[in-house]
A and B are shown apart, each in its own frame.
Chain A
Amino acid sequence: MIGKVLGHCRVLAKIGEGGMGVVYRAHDEVLHRDVALKVVRNDARLDSTTSQSLLYEARASSSLSHPNICTIHEVGESDGDLYIVMELVEGKSLRAMSADAGLPPESVLRYGVQIASALARAHDRGIIHRDLKTANIVVTSDGLVKVLDFGLAKQVGSGIFEGSTRSFATLQDASSVSGTLPYMAPEILRGDPADYRTDLWALGVVLYEAASGRLPFEGRTGFEISSAIMRELPNPLGPPVPPGLWTIMQRCLAKEPIQRYQRASEVQAALEAVQSAAIVSTAPGPELNAPKTTMLHSVRHTHVKRGDFLLLVGTTKGAFILRSSAQRSRWEVGGPYFHGQNVYAMAYDGRGGQRRIWASTQSYWGTLLRSSDDFGKSWTNPQQAPIRFPSDTGVSLKNIWQIALGPPAEPNVLYCGAEPAALFKTCDAGETWSLVRGLFDHPHRPRWMPGNGGLALHTIVLDPADNQRMYVAISAGGVYRTIDGGHNWTAQNRGIRAMFMPDKYPEFGQCVHKIAMHPRRPERLFLQNHWGLYRSDDSAENWTDIANGVPSDFGFAMLMHPRNPDCVYIVPVESDEFRCACDGRLRVYRTRNGGASWEPLLRGLPQKRAYETVLRDAIAADSFDPVGIYFGTRSGQLLGSRDEGRTWQKILAGLPSVVCVRSAVVEDGSGGLGLTPSKAAQAPSSQAKSRSTSRSRRTRR
């Protein structure tokens, strides 16, 4: 072969040999560059169909242009010899580099990011590697990773016990049993076809091997290796491998593809996160755990006493606390708290005898969940953000859209809905929060799309009759339900339109703006969609359109009447392009028959040039009889009704844009009812009186 010309490449020297063929250094006599030339082995000579398929695959792979992918320049046949001309990569294989005790974690992360990036590019182009292994990965002298032989493995199906491709940088024995099998995913051993996640399994094996020098699944025979892959868990890797890296490996090596990362870009992001966290993080010392408290001296405070009625108002420039008596005719205003910050979520927690106000704050310094036990005079200002995504997710918190109380019998349980869409839970009254993995790892998540306001989990609804059942709403992901306390989640969107999707009734992806449930009738839910009003009478199994006579079925806010399960309030806006009150007339609409008909409530509301918008959480009800309804607008008006919406009065004007309104009646500190049923309708389990429960709470400084 030496000296022979294939295409326009003259063969110079043999540099490697693998299961598929022999690799030569060659010189491209047209472009005057050295290249690698792989000639398919004589004894692996393929029938013409397979040969054509290999050519096709190689040509497809040649379209991949990425700094971490070894470029295929040309494929062809010459005198019956099938050959592939590739970029000549000189370096060491990752296999050789990690052969002894593995590489330092920093190197594993650095190389892993590049390998994942290469896979992400290939997967985007619909190309699966199918034979990723450390022997197929070369690291050049300046630390650049090159992944070899993309897409070439598929057509060479002569046997899983042979190394189907070989790097020319490693001179492995082609007949070695250890060739490819240790990198094979369980589904391949079962005979299922390969997909992108098959490569992600192999990436997990590669990372494990690079970090430890060992394969995660070993055996003396092919049968033993296969058995280990199918049934066993890899031995855990401890220090110096950082826990985040080990977590990533475990997720890549999940036996079921659906439990793995779903995209190479997710692995890349997770590796980058561990990489950068390793750079800039320090282990939290004891001091870090002590929350700081900020005393707000220059802010006007309200003087709250037992029996007072409160409105909590979150705006894009801070929070306000309004105090009134049960008459709700005169208001004392406290605030603004958190000058200039977005306050998208607030809640009042009167469970277990506490009187705690919760607020989420967002600014360029990040997003924090904070609380006050003295009606705003002092707020926690934790040194470490209490709600944070784990490092293996590669995701950072942007905002907290919802704070929901857990069941009354569990006063230390709360939930937060986050952006990017995720659910967090605390079981110790906010001391520690954890990501609800069952939802975050849902296979739909990579295909959720951000709505206009971002990709947010903005609504959390607990079933008061069943503490294992819970609903969340995501824009734009749709409604998801768990019936096992958050471990598993199902999309519950049957009958809900998605106007912006090719399939108007997809399984998920709807831009749901709000859902509401009445605690007395938990199987019934109402839903305000991005176009569409719906009701479900079967725990969100099916949804029925109830936009009967409203001027627009577009809107954000939706509120249950605290006592009447047939009564719902909405504030329609004109369209998604013109998100203002229809015709410049600010009208609340109410149904008292479960959506069969709607009536406008407008007495006292501006009906000329009132281009107002009421956002999804900017409406609340109280627990009095008749019920009071309160809402805020983007233009900073706060309006209220003491007669269930029949007449309205202006409470306050000139506020920043209102994004959140919540109400509360302040009971004594011995376990009284703190949260009004209006809020209870959205976090229904908090309606009932709580038992006094001893709680741990860190000492504030």
Chain B
Amino acid sequence: MVDGSLAAGSLPDPAPRARFAKAWGAHRRARRLQWLTGAALLALLIAVSAWLGEVNLALLWERLPRFGSYFGRMVPELAWATLWDDLAYWYWNGWQWLAALWQTVLIAIYATLFGAALAYVFSFLAARNLTPAPWVGVAARRTLELARTIPELVFAVLFVFAFGIGPLAGVLAIGLHSFGALGKLFGDVAENADPEPLRGVRATGANWAQTMVYGATPQLAPDYLSYGLMRLEINVRAASILGFVGAGGIGQELYRAIKNFDHTDISAIALMLIAAVMLIDALCGWLRGLLIGRDGLRAL
């Protein structure tokens, strides 16, 4: 009795409830329809991609053991008794590989320097708040886009053709790509530059270039250096495969080993490469920590 009166008192009119139920139902139907369309679209996209990409899971399943044996053959024969001789046999060409690895690292360093130097100049041209004229900004941004969209390897083939086989083509190819990628990152940072120091420098009668060097550079340098170091890490990886097209570095040795099915050579070179990449990553991380740590907590 009490319950009945309470329910009747709190809900005298069932109409709002029905309206809500109806609206809720419609909302849910709309949501479900949206969801179904999305799922159908995704399924269609997957199906088309699978057809274009010649996906064949049965083949993969059948060949999977081959993949295992491929890695199995890469493991060298090492016995504890003759460990030293076995290692020497595994790394029979170790010194030459080390030289090629060193060249790879050099390519990455010089490419980063080259790309960063160009990107430094272009970042001021491209940043909307610093650019000397709007059309210069647009032109600079388009140039950077072009440089970072064309893959390094395409540049590398072009430069091997123009400059001949060797590390120079690699430096230029990675450098040009880094220029595009770093130019964008630098430009984004430069757009957030504090205008006060710029005004101060300009008030002394400095021209545009002087304003950039003395007003913008000091406040942007930590971020620029940090991004440059990050790029160096990426470039070491990129430089490791340039040898595939004759642009120097360890890639040439790796490609030869893979083509000739010298399985233990592949593992030997790959291990050296991974160790070098990890070492450089750690070094860059440490340097970056030094750079940023001193400047307080910069979010990067």
Decide whether A and B are members of one complex.
no
